[in-house]
Amino acid sequence: MQTLQQFFIGNLYTPDNNQLLEAYQTFIKNNAAECTQAFYDVLLTDSATKRYLTNQLVENHLKIELQAWIKQTLSPKFSDEDIQTLVNKQRLVGEVHSRIEVPMHMVNSAMSTIKQVLFINLRNDANIPDKLKADLIILLNLLLDSALSLINESYLDQRVNTERHAQEYRSRSSAHEMAIEIERVKGALFGWMTQFMSDLLTHSTHRKVDIHHQEFALWIRHKLGFFCTDPRVTNKIIHNLDELQDSLNELHHSPNAPKEQTIQKINALTNECGWMLGQIADKNIEDATREDALTSLIERRFMAPILQSETQLAIKTQEPYTLLMIDVDNFKSVNDIHGHQAGDAVLSSIGRHLKRALRVTDYAFRFGGEEFMILMPETSLENGILAAQKILDNIRQNEVKLDNGRTLKATVSIGLAQFEQDPDYQQVIKIADEKLYEAKHAGKDRYAY
């Protein structure tokens, strides 16, 4: 069903309007670069936008895209197919803006600068008759307004869906899964505490401790927000970690100073973090599950809020994440020869292996069919390759037991991509998917990057 915005923009490309646009395409194309520069001059004044719209990204990619958008939006459309292609383009722009969280009000303000440049240059162009100038200004204004309406409609739809899936992911976490994961984190926290105290008492270490790269701290930074929606609690835990780091720095820089009070503070902060994590698990216990029933991995629909959050963290911390796209080799043959129950057994077995291979900070998704995706926060491509090799080795050595007593061997192919500061996470997914294709066509049972 067409929305009002789609209907409106579709009815702007009348024969008369198309003729007017066609007559002045040279003017529009000649001014596209100046409009683009003015647009980003406004957009980059916003401190929130500047966090992820780097000058390099704007110069090498986004300016080219915006110029193409201006030319496409302000060119004649002679068929319903042309109009639908344009509508789809506007909706895609809105989705991308939502994924990277470009403020909608800033886009609206920046769009007005495009109009300003066009209208001033149009007014000063002696080659265009005054009567046609008025008609062209009205038409260009209507086209840009209708395009912006479609972009904003799509932006809001995407934001609502992302937030709904984020809330659903939180609310449908099973008590069993949550308890296991938080106990792993608490175990890592108290294990670190025990080892640190032991080293301190035996004087076996003098190096500076970076608590923020410990396993439990990485989990808190990357996953805590999906287990706890109360910012007072999450901020308190994060604040405790910062205070722990300050106390550790104090011990490192003043090794001969009295330690008793600092050690008591470290112990108290650690215990409080552990207690609060337990409270989070108790408060969020639910009877439902967030998992794909067959593989016990996270369903694809929960991917958007997680990747959006990880992309923003990666930009903020300058610590890249790595994606692994994984596909079961020759899966169709398994189904054709052994039946769909055998195929399900293979998927279930691989899901278990992937889950066992994860760190507490990683996410594993059932991406669709026989395809999986692993998100590894704060992980370089090199470390992602080590993980991929481990996964390949483990799955090769595994035998899948079927209901009839027979066994199957399965292999997978893996494509890897490291986040490279593009704020739209779909780009890193696209690269990982292309690398998966390369691995498949290079012989399968391997990785490519």
DSSP-derived letter for residue 2 is: -
Name the CATH architecture for the domain at 4-169.
Orthogonal Bundle (1.10)
What does the alpha-carbon distance between residue 445 and residue 426 come to, in Å, rounded to a whole number? Answer: 25
Q: With 0-12 CB in 10 A as exposed, 13-18 as middle and 19+ as buried, what is 381?
A: middle
Between residues 168 and 266, the one the model is more confident about: 266
Between residues 356 and 333, the one the model is more confident about: 333
Residue pair 362/377 in contact (Cβ under 8 Å)? The answer is yes
**pLDDT tens by residue, 62-107:** 889 899 999 999 999 999 899 899 999 998 988 888 887 777 787 8
**Nearest residue to 364 (alpha-carbon basis) of 234, 216, 181:** 181
Confidence at residue 288, expressed as pLDDT on a 0 to 100 scale? 40
Kindly report the backbone phi and psi dihedral angles of residue 399, in degrees, each rounded to the nearest multiple of 5, phi listed first. Answer: -115, 130
Alpha helices (H) in 254-339, listed in sequence order: 260-283, 303-317, 331-338
Mean pLDDT of 135-161: 86
Is it the case that residue 426 has pLDDT exceeding 50?
Answer: yes
Is it the case that residue 372 has pLDDT exceeding 90?
Answer: yes
How many angstroms separate the first and last alpha carbons of the chain?
Answer: 41
Confidence at residue 58, expressed as pLDDT on a 0 to 100 scale? 72
Torsion angle of the four alpha carbons 144, 146, 149, 153, in this order, in degrees rounded to the nearest 10: -130
Question: Tokens 């790595």 correspond to what residue?
Answer: 322
pTM: 0.56
Is it the case that residue 437 has pLDDT exceeding 90?
Answer: yes
- The mean-pLDDT minimum among 39-43, 163-167, 297-301, 444-448 falls in 163-167
Given pLDDT bands bounded at 50, 70 and 90, which one contains residue 175?
A: low
**Nearest residue to 27 (alpha-carbon basis) of 142, 95, 118, 111:** 118
Percent of the chain scored above 70 by pLDDT?
89
**pLDDT tens by residue, 284-298:** 554 344 556 677 788
Dmax (CA) for the chain in angstroms is 89
Work out the mean pLDDT of the chain and round it to a whole number: 85
Residue pair 361/383 in contact (Cβ under 8 Å)? The answer is no
> What letter represents residue 25's amino acid?
Q
Mean pLDDT of 388-414: 89
What does the alpha-carbon distance between residue 284 and residue 268 come to, in Å, rounded to a whole number? Answer: 25
Question: Tokens 């506007």 correspond to what residue?
Answer: 90
Question: What 3 state SS string does 139-181 have?
Answer: HHHHHHHHHHHHHHHHHHHHHHHHHHHHHHHHHCCCHHHHHHH
> CA dist 412 to 71, 293, 390, 432, Å?
44, 21, 12, 14
Question: Tokens 């899964």 correspond to what residue?
Answer: 177
Between residues 290 and 114, the one the model is more confident about: 114
Confidence at residue 243, expressed as pLDDT on a 0 to 100 scale? 92
The class level of CATH for 298-448 reads alpha beta
Between residues 230 and 249, the one the model is more confident about: 249
- Top-ranked range on mean pLDDT: pick from 222-236, 263-277, 286-300, 433-447: 433-447
Within 8 A by CB and 6+ apart from 370, the residues are: 327, 328, 331, 343, 346, 347
Residue 436 host element (H or E):
helix 426-441
Mean pLDDT of 241-245: 92
Confidence at residue 63, expressed as pLDDT on a 0 to 100 scale? 87
Mean pLDDT of 125-141: 90
Is it the case that residue 173 has pLDDT exceeding 80?
Answer: no
**Nearest residue to 116 (alpha-carbon basis) of 37, 8, 21, 29:** 37
**pLDDT tens by residue, 152-169:** 888 878 876 776 666 556
What does the alpha-carbon distance between residue 115 and residue 217 come to, in Å, rounded to a whole number? Answer: 48
Domain residue spans of the chain: 4-169, 175-283, 298-448
Is it the case that residue 237 has pLDDT exceeding 90?
Answer: yes
| DSSP of 277-291 | HHHHHHHT--SS--B
What does the alpha-carbon distance between residue 317 and residue 310 come to, in Å, rounded to a whole number? Answer: 10
Q: Encoding tokens for residue 252?
A: 């490192």
